[in-house]
Structure 1
Amino acid sequence: MPEALWISFAFVLGLTVKAIGLPPLVGYLAAGFVLSGLSAATGLAIEATNVLEHIAHLGVLLLLFTVGLKLKLRSIISPEVIGGSLLHFGITCAVFTPGLYLLMELTWQTAFLLAIALSFSSTVLVAKVLETKRELRAFHGRVAIGILIMQDLIALVVMSLAAGQTPSQWALVVFGLPLLRPLLFRLLDASGHDELLVLLGLLLALVLGGLGFEAVGLSSELGALVLGAMLANHPRAQELAKSLWSVKEMFLVGFFLQIGIGGLPDGDALLFAAVALLVVPLKGVLFFFLLLAFRLRSRSSFLSALSLTNYSEFGLIVASVALPEWLVPLAITVALSFVVSAPVNRLSHAVYERFSARLARFESQRRHPDEQPISLGNTRLLVMGMGRTGSAAYDQLAHEEPLIKALDSDPAKVEKHQKEGRNVVFGDAEDISFWQGLHMPAVEAVILAMGDIEGKLIAARNLRKKGFTGYIVAHTLYADEAERIREAGADEAYLTMSETGVALASQVLHRNRQAPPPMENANA
């Protein structure tokens, strides 16, 4: 039974690489290659069946959907994303095409299509790595994801042209999707917190986004991403992402297994993959200098570029349509780039710190607006996270303390609060560079009201690292999370539901004290 072998090898090798400090996905890739070698050595029929291919595809769709749930389109549509992605694509194709043509004696068309396939970076790997490090919402994470989305759109155009197909006339219906947002918001509100919420996520990612976009001649991957992005501004978007986490992780194991099980390469394929692997650092170098040209700091440019220094599964999709004879060499190339890129990115912050002095020399004197240092001036009270809890805390405190300010990582939410008269500025507590540029000389107390436990932990640790000795208070749903927040440096972490119960009881007691005593029954 091949399914039993897939699961067994994936678990054993995933656990093995995790024990030595590597991401489990490296083990899943290794498991695929081991199974492929075992099949070749023993004659056992261990191959990527339709079931595994379908599971792998579902995993990719769910990953892109959850990435979409965390995307704010306003932060993606920016010069560094659009300009950086288009310039990188153009320069890469201009350099790789003649090189492949001359060195490998290919036709110009084949060399050009190969150059296109090698120009993309992996949406799956980058999103997975950034998500694992809790950096999807950090500035460099948003830049990397934005560039990947642009690359995916370019890949979709290339695939359509190479296949001689164009989207159907019904594809124009996609432009009307924003009109469905109120309905989707209502469905999300009505789905509760249990299995219906999971089913809604699967419906949107796989049915409406996946099959729906395929039905009109568009990419299912793009559909899943778009449907997720449509819900990104809903207050329960992160809850939906968390509810899909286990399902997505399980299906993504199939994606990484599928790459390895695809078959062992011959000598020429291995040579091609080895040369391509030696060249892949040039992708990162080009990204680094292009992002510097758009006024990003060296740190953000380096972290974004390093995460994009790999080859893409979209290159395999392009090859399956336009260059089927190159599918195996490209699969090995992509897999090897994953094996190298995943552990390197895990050490990205340490690597930058080691070379920061040299890299900083390339910075522009002008800073990107999102990377300007933040000074809180004479602010005495700071609220971090302006969702429902943070907004309520801000409004209550603002009546008594005029020197109050709030931070939030969502530019759209910041703009909304500013229009409503609140003193809110953009700041992402999960972005290390934010803490490096934060000045808070007069702050006496900080409220951590972010929805994500990791954000609260990072904020508490960095506040104490900056030497802040004032009062830090947070809220959470679970007792174990409250203990972690206190250990990170907070003075107190209140349990949201417990405090809600205390507040309700206080209201009842307050009312009873004010109400007149009930009159005794005259007939008693």
Structure 2
Amino acid sequence: MPEAIWISFAFGLGLLIKAVHLPPLIGYLAAGFILSAMAANPSIPISPEPTAVLDHIAHLGVLLMLFTVGLKLKLKSVISPEVIGGSLLHFSITALVFAPGIYLILEVSWYTALMLAIALSFSSTVLAAKVLENKRELRAFHGRVAIGILIMQDLIALVVMSLAAGQTPSQWALIVFGLPLLRPVLYKLLDASGHEELLVLLGLLLALVLGGSGFQAVGLSSELGALVFGAILANHPRSQELAKSLWSVKEIFLVGFFLQIGIDGLPGQDAIIFAIVVALILPLKGILFFFLMLLFRLRARSSFLTSLALTNYSEFGLIVASVALPEWLVPLALSVALSFLISAPLNRLAHPLYERWSHRLVPFESDRRHPDELPISLGDTRVVVMGMGRTGTAAYDALRDTEARLMALDSDLAKVARHQKQGRNVVYADAEDNTFWEALHMPSVEAVILAMGDIEAKLIAARMLRKLGFTGYVVAHTMFEDEAERIREAGANEAYLTMSETGVALASHLEQMAPEFPEPEATLSGPKQPST
């Protein structure tokens, strides 16, 4: 049974690679190569050669990946000079420099040289997102810039794939322009799907059936369809919940994609040499990103962290190659794997590396600063509320009528704009961004309320407040006693349990209404008891 062999090898090698703190993707590629070698050896009595099942699973993984990319495709995340300009300039410069070099050295056609250069210009969405998430830097300024650039690269890759596929749309393809009209219907379906298996099935329906098969039926790319349907839902409040619910399914199907690459053929000497040479020029990719970020007025620190997160080759390059250059899949897969071996350890050491090299990097900074990296001054603010969800808003409104000079901070730009329209003094800031703490001035602050939803954000904020020398009162809320203890250990004076405080508040409301309680009447069980 080939499927049993694939799963066993993928799990075993993926687990082995993960144990040494490297992306399991490298193990899946290695499993594919080993299975390919076993299939080529007649003395081994198993036959793990590719089948239509594995091909189909690989394609579904690609579609789900593009659908989840679409779910993150919010305009505010990509409409900024450093994201649009940085991604387009990097793509153009890489293609213009790499393509002639590949053409002359490898003696291939101009089309092949250009497609290889394009495939090597992309950075890994999977690796960068996981590295930033593990370091709690997804919402940090450099994390947002890196993710924005990756989304732009994904869009470029999709355009390249559509052009390379050479499909001729039918007349029914014009229906696609009316898809935004379906947004209210899709929103209602998402709301009605709940939080369990129906939510996963809705994601599969939109990505694989309506997006994948639907677009293919009218002569358009199924990959484009998956991305479009994801983008239609991107602004729904539950879009990220949908993305998380599909995460495991998508990852499992993508295992099939990487296995398929390895099983399709063993790397020859030329493929290994190509991958090693491409890995050696990987630093040039990071250096180009660094100077492009400086060009858009980012500080040296933000430029360095952003460029390091993007210094790798992309699984999207493999997806592009599967459409445009299938004969180059194995060399490119080796290149991606080697780049992960280099990039993953470097990203874990990103902050120490910057501290070591900062004296050489800072002189490259521009005298002008990006608006998101300007110092934040809290002026004469006495009380700061960090996190303006329901709890933070309630705390802010409760203190609003007092004489405390209030300011609130939140990392959601849309939420900040909404509160500002409602007359609250709320500004954008992210407690998980070290840049924010380095630029913060808080001369008059006496108390800080930590009302963020994320436990890690509260821990970081408590630690950083004390590290900055703040001696005022820090209070937080949380759902669990063990988290409350961690917040206190991080520096908070007190951390209250949310549900316990809710019970206390309900009891206080009853106490206020106690004089209005009716006298209890006698029951069949006995006479009326005296009050106590």
2:139 aligned to 118, 137, 149, which one?
137
Tell me the residue number matched to 1:500: 502
Task: State the identity as a percent.
Answer: 76
Return the TM-score normalized by structure 1.
Answer: 0.88
Distance in 2, Cα, partners of 1:95 & 1:11: 39
Moved more, 130-139 or 109-118: 130-139
Tell me the residue number matched to 1:116: 118
Change (3 A) 1:407 1:482: same
Shift of 1:438: 1.7
Shift of 1:110: 2.2
**DSSP-derived class of the 1:378 partner:** coil
Tell me the residue number matched to 2:432: 430
Change (3 A) 1:109 1:364: same
> Is this contact kept in 1: 2:478–2:496, CA < 8 A?
yes
- For 2:456, the aligned partner's letter is E
Tell me the residue number matched to 1:445: 447
Tell me the residue number matched to 1:325: 327
Tell me the residue number matched to 1:81: 83
**DSSP-derived class of the 2:364 partner:** coil
- For 2:498, the aligned partner's letter is T
Distance in 2, Cα, partners of 1:245 & 1:112: 32
Tell me the residue number matched to 1:279: 281
Q: Does 1:95 align with 2:86?
A: no
Q: Does 1:366 align with 2:368?
A: yes
Tell me the residue number matched to 1:148: 150
> Is this contact kept in 2: 1:430–1:458, CA < 8 A?
yes
- For 2:454, the aligned partner's letter is D
**DSSP-derived class of the 2:132 partner:** helix
Change (3 A) 1:352 1:324: same
Tell me the residue number matched to 1:467: 469
After TM superposition, the structure 1 = structure 2 runs for residues 504-523 of structure 1, keeping only pairs within 5 Å, are 504-517=506-519
**DSSP-derived class of the 2:449 partner:** strand
Shift of 1:192: 3.5
- For 1:487, the aligned partner's letter is E
**DSSP-derived class of the 1:361 partner:** helix
Distance in 2, Cα, partners of 1:430 & 1:485: 15
- For 1:334, the aligned partner's letter is V
Return the TM-score normalized by structure 2.
Answer: 0.87
Change (3 A) 1:67 1:270: same
Distance in 1, Cα, partners of 2:170 & 2:485: 55
Distance in 1, Cα, partners of 2:480 & 2:68: 23
> Is this contact kept in 2: 1:473–1:490, CA < 8 A?
yes
Distance in 2, Cα, partners of 1:120 & 1:227: 23
Moved more, 191-200 or 135-144: 191-200
Shift of 1:91: 1.1
Tell me the residue number matched to 2:378: 376
> Is this contact kept in 1: 2:71–2:240, CA < 8 A?
yes
1:296 aligned to 295, 298, 302, which one?
298
> Is this contact kept in 2: 1:265–1:329, CA < 8 A?
yes
1:412 aligned to 414, 433, 453, which one?
414
Shift of 1:194: 3.5
Structure 2 unpaired stretches of 5+: 528-532
Tell me the residue number matched to 2:478: 476
Moved more, 262-271 or 64-73: 64-73
- For 1:297, the aligned partner's letter is R
- For 1:358, the aligned partner's letter is R
Distance in 1, Cα, partners of 2:320 & 2:153: 12
- For 1:353, the aligned partner's letter is E
- For 2:431, the aligned partner's letter is A
Distance in 2, Cα, partners of 1:301 & 1:322: 32
1:233-288: CA deviation from partner (whole Å, max 9, x where unpaired): 54444544444454445445445444444432111111111111111211111111
Shift of 1:168: 5.0
> Is this contact kept in 2: 1:69–1:232, CA < 8 A?
yes
> Is this contact kept in 2: 1:73–1:229, CA < 8 A?
no
- For 1:22, the aligned partner's letter is L
Change (3 A) 1:158 1:355: same
Change (3 A) 1:19 1:158: closer
Moved more, 149-158 or 245-254: 245-254
Cα RMSD, aligned residues only: 3.1
Distance in 1, Cα, partners of 2:344 & 2:105: 29
Q: Does 1:313 align with 2:324?
A: no
After TM superposition, the structure 1 = structure 2 runs for residues 344-363 of structure 1, keeping only pairs within 5 Å, are 344-363=346-365
Q: Kindly tell me the number of residue pairs found equivalent between the two proteins.
A: 522
Moved more, 492-501 or 261-270: 492-501
Change (3 A) 1:322 1:407: same
Change (3 A) 1:49 1:355: farther
Shift of 1:442: 2.0
Change (3 A) 1:134 1:245: farther
Shift of 1:462: 2.2
Moved more, 80-89 or 380-389: 380-389
Distance in 1, Cα, partners of 2:215 & 2:176: 8
The structure with the largest alpha-carbon Rg is 2
> Is this contact kept in 2: 1:156–1:219, CA < 8 A?
no
Structure 1 unpaired stretches of 5+: none
> Is this contact kept in 1: 2:66–2:223, CA < 8 A?
yes
- For 2:353, the aligned partner's letter is V
> Is this contact kept in 1: 2:36–2:262, CA < 8 A?
yes
Q: Does 1:22 align with 2:22?
A: yes
